[in-house]
Amino acid sequence: MKFFVDTADVAEIRELNDLGLVDGVTTNPSLIAKSGRDIMEVTKEICGIVEGPVSAEVTATDFDGMMKEAAILAAIADNICIKLPLTLPGLKACKALTSAGHQTNVTLCFSSAQALLAAKAGATYISPFIGRLDDIGMDGMDLIREIRAIYDNYGFETQILAASIRSINHVQQAAIIGADVATIPPATMKGLVKHPLTDKGLDAFLADWAKTGQKIVK
């Protein structure tokens, strides 16, 4: 499974990238607003930090507007992935951009029928929102299972990018089901390393080592 970090915070991206954990980055208008920075400036900086795709989202809702914005965003760097809403104009733009050789990420997916349309439009990535489905009493993982089955049935190359991840369990379950990518908030990504038995075991090893009075580096 590939890990994308879901943030526009350059310091967080740099830290995780230095750990070797980042395969790409996803941003959206809300994350750009949270960063407090100019979209072009911060997106360009992010593209210079990571080698993988950096999703930059259009804000227009009509086809012509999306295409104009996509042209501007795509010019930022070679690893830009154009993020588009799962609407009819968004799917039309997805088809046009994919045909022109651009990476695309179709976002705000809440049903397997929508995911099927995105795959037929040639999306590079489909972003089903797990957490938001959980919020309304549904099981977001069921959507990942359905999309995985449909894509495998017909050999679609669109990658499933599990989004709106709220917990470590979301990451684990998405990986078990077979999502290709998880886009994860920085705190959750760092939390994947934690386990109380790991901490307990390390404390015991260090206590035993201290009793020997030895040093590896003298």
Considering only CA atoms, give the Rg of the chain.
Answer: 20
On whether the CB atoms of residues 109 and 115 are closer than 8 A, the answer is yes
Answer left, alpha or beta for residue 136, where phi above 0 means left and psi between -120 and 50 means alpha: alpha
The whole-angstrom separation of Cα 77 and Cα 65 is: 20
| Residue 162 CB coordination number (10 Å) | 30
Closest CA to 69 of 78, 59, 79: 59
Active site residues: 83
Cα four-point dihedral sign 61, 3, 150, 144: negative
> Phi, psi at residue 149, to the nearest 5°?
-65, -45
Q: C-alpha 159: how far from its chain's center?
A: 11
Number of DSSP helices (H) and strands (E) in the chain, helices first:
11, 8
SS3 (DSSP) at 148: helix
The whole-angstrom separation of Cα 28 and Cα 12 is: 16
On whether the CB atoms of residues 97 and 131 are closer than 8 A, the answer is no
